[in-house]
Amino acid sequence: MQKYVLFLIFILIMSQIHTNAQDILDSKASDPNKLAWMQGFPPTKDKIISAIDGSFFQFPALRYSVCHMRQFMPTTVVKSHSGKGYKFKVRLDEDIDNVRFTPTNSSETMTWRESLDKNYTDGMLILHKGKIVYEYYFGALKPDGVHAAMSVSKTFTGTLGGLLVAEGVLDENKTAEYYIPELKGSAFANATIRQILDMTTGLKYSEDYSNPKAEIWAFTAAGNPFSKIENGPSNYYEYLATVQKEGVHGEVFGYKTINTDAMGWIVSRVTGKSIPQLLSERIWKPLGTHVDGYFQIDGAGIAFAGGGFSANMRDMAMFGEMVRNKGKFNKKQILPIALIEDIMKGGDKEKFSKSVYGSLKGWSYRNMWWHTHNEHGAFAARGVHGQTIYIDPTAEMVIVRFASHPEAKNAYIDPTSLPAYHAVAKYLLSK
């Protein structure tokens, strides 16, 4: 089993495990500085977080690890802008802390500030009309640091895929096999680019960790750069070529990480560039970002397109603000308007409602973005443990949130975050 352990992250990224609530330290008690993870020269034995025993991604240690992923695994850089970079205007609004909202399925209200603690928030940034009105750092996150984006990574890969569609480099009606002949014989072979981008593929792929035969284990093993695989796929791409079909493509939304890794492969094949490199060249550098981001990689140097990105919070906010402005940022059109309009329109609500995510009523998924279809037309990038980029076009608001919630499932985090975001949006609208 040892070879599986390092990349527990892959598992946990999509984990459905619900930890026993009464045993869990709260936000303040689990502050990684207070717990002194990896502090001291050397840290005491019980404060060493290790890659080899999987402890680096267990709560509360993960509150440290999410800001230091490179200390536990091989990574490759996403270069930021090389010059002075973009500087946000800052107009902090302290009243936001007191904005009240009612958590989903709750009878009692809560303040914005309380929600940050409740949700184990490491970083929170709110832009209103492009200015920073709220900025908060906690735990191991530093203003010039990075944080694991988890499945928010998918949104970057999906946006790059959508960009290539908008530019005509990819035909969204062509199949994956057309671009990647090696996918012949796999479930992806006859899935279209559009189906992959919107995750409506029918894939035999289980992320049930209680089942030792679940496909997630082979994916995890394939992506582990430190295990030598004798029989079976030894990197992400080799794994993707083995995925079998289940159901029909194009009918139901099925949130499966491997769609994003397949899209990453396609994007890299047609551009000749890795996802980290393309993200840097097409988005990160043009934005004027300040801090180099990075992706974790497998043993063949392939970036984990479905979940491996770590980035700086203000840099993330630049991306969100650019998308809110239909691809324009700091006087430059960075992404095509047509792509952003396609994202803002959202996906197929019916296909979404039939999925296991149907509890997010009225939502849809498009180009690896989640669309709330709420009264403000808000849409978002979302990652486990509470990562998000939440864009509210009506309120001219962008929220970036990094967190290290003990639960890997957003269903535990959404009740005290989605209504909070909407309440702040309404507050900003009313100003």
Alpha-carbon distance of 133 to 137, in angstroms, equals 14
Count of positions on this chain that bind a copy of itself (CB under 8 A): 45
Contact between 226 and a copy of itself per CB under 8 A: yes
Q: Are 184 and 177 in contact (CB under 8 A)?
A: yes
Q: Please select the residue that binds a copy of itself; options are 17, 29, 77, 90, rule is CB under 8 A.
A: 77
Q: Does 235 help bind a copy of itself (rule: CB under 8 A)?
A: yes
Nearer to a copy of itself, 72 or 253 (CB): 72
Residues 390-429 vs a copy of itself: string with x where CB under 8 A? ----------------------------------------
132 lines the binding site for a copy of itself (CB under 8 A) = no
Tokens 């909202």 sit on residue? 101
Sheet of 309-311, strands arranged across: 75-78, 293-296, 309-311, 147-148
Among residues 27, 75, 289, 310, the one that binds a copy of itself under rule CB under 8 A: 75
Q: Which stretch binds a copy of itself (CB under 8 A): 21-29, 220-228, 393-401, 416-424?
A: 220-228
**Helix pair angle (152-166, 257-271), 10° resolution:** 40
**201 lies in the site for a copy of itself, by CB under 8 A:** no
From 92-100, 148-156, 288-296, 356-364, span contacting a copy of itself (CB under 8 A): 288-296
Q: What DSSP assignment string belongs to 142-199?
A: -TT--EE-TTHHHHHHHHHHHHHHHTTSS-TTSBHHHH-GGGTTSTTTT-BHHHHHTT
From 130, 225, 250, 377, residue interacting with a copy of itself (rule: CB under 8 A) = 225
Q: CB of 261 within 8 A of CB of 254?
A: no
Considering only 129, 290, 328, 409, the residue that binds a copy of itself (CB under 8 A) is 290
**Is residue 71 within the footprint of a copy of itself (CB under 8 A)?**
yes
List 144, 210, 212, 431, residue binding a copy of itself (CB under 8 A):
144
Tabulate helix, strand, coil % of the chain (nearest 5). 35, 15, 45
Question: Contact between 221 and a copy of itself (CB under 8 A)?
Answer: no
Q: What are phi and psi of 396, to 5 degrees?
A: 50, 45
For residue 230, state whether it binds a copy of itself (rule: CB under 8 A): no
Does residue 147 bind a copy of itself (CB under 8 A)?
no
Residues 246-285 that bind a copy of itself (CB under 8 A): 265, 268-269, 272, 274
The reply to whether 309 sits near a copy of itself by the rule CB under 8 A is no
Summary count for the chain: helices (H), strands (E): 17, 17
Give the dihedral of Cα atoms 312, 373, 338, 311; nearest 10 deg: 10
Q: Are 265 and 226 in contact (CB under 8 A)?
A: no
The tokens of 312 are what? 């700086």
Q: Is 168 among the residues that bind a copy of itself (CB under 8 A)?
A: no
Please say whether the beta carbons of 114 and 127 come within 8 A.
Answer: no
Give min distance, CB of 221 to a copy of itself, in A.
13
Residues that bind a copy of itself (CB under 8 A): 6, 38, 41-43, 48-53, 68, 70-77, 79, 82-84, 144, 225-228, 235, 237-238, 265, 268-269, 272, 274, 290, 292, 294, 297, 299-302
